Amino acid sequence: MKFNTEMKRNIILYLLEKIDQKDPAVSKAVAECFSVNQNTIHTYINELVSDQVIRRVKRGQYELFKSEYKFRLKRSAGDLDSDIAAYDHCLLDHIKHLGENVRSIWGYAFSEMINNVMDHSTAENVEVIIEQDYLNTTAIILDDGIGIFKKIKEHFHFATLDEAISELFKGKLTTDAENHSGEGIFFSSKLMDDFYIISDGKVFSNNKFDNSKILNYTESEFKGTCVWMRLSNYTNKKPQDVFDAYADTDGGFTKTRIPLKNIFDSSPVSRSQAKRICNRLEQFEEVLLDFEGIGWMGQGFAHQLFVVFAKGHPDIRLIPINMNEDVTKMYVHVTT
């Protein structure tokens, strides 16, 4: 059976995803999904091996060919004078064959992260690693400067690193307001399929399912900041769609979403916890407070957030979402 170009492309992409997931019965799974015989899938596999898209590991098992490219940038050599020059030097050649939307996403995110290194890190040395296979491109940016979370904590006088990192969920956070909007990390983390910042014993992460997290790591020898970004080479995502999700009709960054489960280890109960959430919310017009994974909230937390702050800021819309029954009862209790 012959397929049109679009159908063959879909079969091959699914086939490669199954190989990447190390499915033990790749040809059978793909054949059943598309209602084709396994001989057709074996033909495609042989073509992919011949084209060096995949390689045989052993009988019936394959893996994607992965290419890796490393670059070293030095501030004293002028390598950090221009984010555009760094993008052209490190990344452009490896993505220029991809779709316009993919190139646009990478152009924004890579440039924003290099800009952060240029303007905030005080780093002298930066290593950029580009990893690529048929399905995905990954960019890793490592610098030897001051850790990003430590800098945010010290600049804003936050009590803990977790408190500093929590502000990144909101966006509009910058230690240089005259020259930066504070939107780069926020939007880059939304545009990428997987996004990590590793620094100061902490990991800030977000992925294509919009699951943001703060994690700990124990690699004591690591200094500076590492940004790790991955994007599908075939994503349908468009930058403007992501920007529009947080903008008003005039294009301003007026909306944000705060995943509470990733800020608090247990159900939030106190007024001080609510005040932490309210910090800098006056910069937005609409705030989605996501209670997914939160089993309960205390009266003090709810009252401070939905009564005290809400009354003091009537122009800011606080919209709770994903509340379970117990959270809803407390919300209704303090607001009625």
For residue 312, which phi and psi values (nearest 5 degrees)? Answer: -75, -15
How many domains does one find in the chain?
3
The residues near 57 (Cβ < 8 Å, ≥ 6 apart) are 63
In a domain, 248, yes or no: no
Give the residue among 195, 184, 191 at the shortest CA–CA distance from 230. 195
In a domain, 135, yes or no: yes
Last residue of some domain: 20, 49, 64? 64
177 in the same domain as 159: yes
In a domain, 246, yes or no: no
204 in the same domain as 128: yes
For residue 305, which phi and psi values (nearest 5 degrees)? Answer: -80, -50
125 in the same domain as 59: no
47 in the same domain as 79: no
16 in the same domain as 119: no
Domain that holds residue 52: 5-64
| Residue spans of beta strands (DSSP E) within the chain | 54-58, 61-64, 67-74, 125-132, 136-143, 194-199, 202-207, 213-216, 225-232, 255-259, 286-290, 317-321
155 in the same domain as 36: no
Rounded to whole angstroms, the Cα distance separating 92 from 103 reads: 8
Last residue of some domain: 42, 64, 86? 64
Query: Which residues are registered as beta bridge partners of 73?
Result: 126
In a domain, 249, yes or no: no
In a domain, 93, yes or no: yes
In a domain, 247, yes or no: no
163 in the same domain as 134: yes
Rounded to whole angstroms, the Cα distance separating 246 from 257 reads: 9
For residue 61, which phi and psi values (nearest 5 degrees)? Answer: -125, 135
User: 3-state class of 7 per DSSP?
Assistant: helix
Q: Can you give the pLDDT of all 336 residues of the chain as single tens digits?
A: 456 777 788 889 889 988 998 888 888 888 888 888 899 999 999 999 999 999 999 888 899 999 999 999 999 999 999 999 999 999 999 999 999 999 999 998 999 899 889 987 889 999 999 999 999 999 999 999 988 888 888 877 888 888 777 777 665 555 444 544 457 788 888 889 899 998 888 888 876 554 555 555 555 556 789 999 999 998 888 887 777 666 554 445 677 888 787 667 567 877 878 887 887 788 788 888 989 888 888 888 899 999 999 999 999 999 999 999 989 999 999 998
In a domain, 166, yes or no: yes
200 in the same domain as 81: yes
Rounded to whole angstroms, the Cα distance separating 199 from 217 reads: 9
The DSSP code sequence of 228-262 is EEEEETT----HHHHHHTTB-TT--B-EEEEEGGG
Last residue of some domain: 64, 93, 115? 64
Q: Model-level pTM?
A: 0.71
b/e sequence 36-73, b meaning 16+ C-beta within 10 Å = beeebbeebbeebeeeebbeeeeeeebebeeeeeeeeb
